[in-house]
Amino acid sequence: MSLPIKDILDHLHINDINHAFSTGSQWGSSANAVTKDIVSPTDGKKIAAVKFATADEYNTVVETAAKAFKTWRTIPAPKRGEIVRQICESLRANKKQLGTLVSYEMGKSLQEGYGEVQEMIDICDFAVGLSRQLYGLTMHSERPEHRMYEQYHPLGIIGVISAFNFPVAVWSWNAALAWVCGDVCIWKPSEKTPLTAIACQHIAQEVFKRNNIEEGVSCLVIGDRNIGELMSNDTRVPLVSATGSTRMGKAVSAAVGARLGKSLLELGGNNAIIITENADLDMSLIGAVFGAVGTAGQRCTSTRRLIIHESVYEAFKQKLVKAYAQIKIGDPLNENNHMGPLIDQDAVALYLDSIEKCKAEGGKFVVEGGKLDGGPYSSGCYVKPCIAEVENHYQIVQHETFAPILYLIKYATIEEAIDLQNGVPQGLSSAIMTNNLREAETFLSYAGSDCGIANVNIGTSGAEIGGAFGGEKETGGGRESGSDAWKVYMRRQTNTINYSKTLPLAQGIKFDL
């Protein structure tokens, strides 16, 4: 481990990890806790060892959070927003250190690590404004001298299960909004990237402590899937927000649904860019390459498929091949590199297996993939981004591979292109590159993209916090971040007030005594 990384760990209170859970300033773990080494995919070196929480410790956290909720919900929303504003300022002050740790622990480029922390800052800014406009509607009653309206109340404990690829940003999307809504949060980070979560918990709890907020508003539980299962089955947790694979999401949805709880699911993506004959090919190239190789293809919004019009197919393919030859792969802390490693060697094995399956189905690779070994790639987690010509119906193309494999598909008409775009089980992000108004509007119409995100002349990867983020079909249907996504963290209540001297019934019903 290089000295700058050690200094960053010390700065973020990650020098000796002896605790499996936190309810704020209180941290703890059992004497016989399971311990796991956290190894950076960047250089294969151990960063630290963490402990996993037990079921009893999880229960302690939930009890503390439930108690805190009773007080936190009584604090006026603008006051809760002020505390989130202070957390935002702490994130700004720690952006460089936290962004570097995100990059080192997860393997994404340093620029993307900084960008992830900036997303946290942005959602906190959004939540502060939101704290003064948690609105309800007023409706006219059919009964005279009655007033009818609706209001929103906090749900209670929000469980957040986050994934390794965005180890901190997705938590903040949930936590910042939930806090201003009056909820408390219990966070189970990915067991692959818990150190950045510990750092965030320290940053948040210092602000809560400074404002004399009791334990339990911000909680952290480190563990494997067992903790996620406990949370999903826990009736004390009315909403579970889970980010991960479709397989994981189906398990969470089934468990939460069985107890009639609520789930917010952000699952797999199989995102395509349609490149029409009217596209700016140079601009399209930027969107396609960043979408495919950014975060080493480990974003839910990564570009997996390029659906290219037959008239520009060969020209654009050659542009891609030339661009891929210029991609620099290596240490993500080196800002000259475009792509870092996959998260671990298991991910590398899945990447290699997907390449073989693609070839077996008839895929023709125009840029060959493979594992990189030795020297700067000694961690065993580095791979080559690759490109294959395929048919959309191939089983491997229908499946989301969390790696930098890009599939090229040819089309003839815009209707065919949209059918290909929609012809996968997932429905997260989509894009079209065109300077033709009719093509763009068709893509955005009811007959166009079936995804939760549909872009024109930008890629599939990357989203602003002002818009609600999420997708359809096997992506889960959840919406996080901007717009009115805050409503999912609250329960809706309809109120009718009778200020007359009689009690008329609805629908003109008579009930005389």
**Among 105, 112, 215, 266, the one annotated catalytic:** 266
Tens-digit pLDDT profile for the chain (513 aa)? 444 788 898 888 886 677 899 999 889 988 788 999 999 999 999 999 999 999 999 999 999 999 999 999 999 999 999 999 999 999 999 999 999 999 999 999 999 999 999 999 999 999 999 999 999 999 999 999 999 999 999 999 999 999 999 999 999 999 999 999 999 999 999 999 999 999 999 999 999 999 999 999 999 999 999 999 999 999 999 999 999 999 999 999 999 999 999 999 999 999 999 999 999 999 999 999 999 999 999 999 999 999 999 999 999 999 999 999 999 999 999 999 999 999 999 999 999 999 999 999 999 999 999 999 999 999 999 999 999 999 999 999 999 999 999 999 999 999 999 999 999 999 999 999 999 999 999 999 999 999 999 999 999 998 899 999 999 999 999 999 999 999 999 999 999 999 999 998 888 888 887
Range of the domain at 217: 3-267+476-493
The stretches of 239-380 forming alpha helices (DSSP H) are 246-258, 281-293, 313-324, 345-361
Q: Is residue 24 assigned to a domain?
A: yes
Looking at the structure, do residues 308 and 173 belong to the same domain, yes or no? Answer: no
Q: Is residue 470 assigned to a domain?
A: no
Q: Is residue 280 assigned to a domain?
A: yes
- Rounded CA-CA distance 246/204 in Å is 30
Using a pLDDT cut of 70, give the percent of the chain over it: 99
Q: Is the dihedral of CA 361, 246, 424, 384 positive or negative?
A: negative
Q: Is residue 504 assigned to a domain?
A: no
Looking at the structure, do residues 300 and 438 belong to the same domain, yes or no? Answer: yes
Q: Is residue 502 assigned to a domain?
A: no
Looking at the structure, do residues 279 and 240 belong to the same domain, yes or no? Answer: no
Looking at the structure, do residues 129 and 232 belong to the same domain, yes or no? Answer: yes
Looking at the structure, do residues 153 and 205 belong to the same domain, yes or no? Answer: yes
Looking at the structure, do residues 378 and 247 belong to the same domain, yes or no? Answer: no
Active-site annotation holds for 310 = no
- Looking at the structure of the chain, the number of domains it has is 2
User: Is the full-model pTM beyond 0.85?
Assistant: yes
Looking at the structure, do residues 212 and 166 belong to the same domain, yes or no? Answer: yes
CATH number of domain containing 57:
3.40.605.10
Looking at the structure, do residues 484 and 392 belong to the same domain, yes or no? Answer: no
Q: Is residue 443 assigned to a domain?
A: yes
Looking at the structure, do residues 229 and 276 belong to the same domain, yes or no? Answer: no
Looking at the structure, do residues 323 and 375 belong to the same domain, yes or no? Answer: yes
What would you report as the CA-atom Rg of the chain, rounded to the nearest whole angstrom?
Answer: 24
Q: How far apart are the first and last CA of the chain?
A: 83
Q: Is residue 498 assigned to a domain?
A: no
Looking at the structure, do residues 150 and 168 belong to the same domain, yes or no? Answer: yes
Looking at the structure, do residues 354 and 400 belong to the same domain, yes or no? Answer: yes
Q: Is residue 202 assigned to a domain?
A: yes
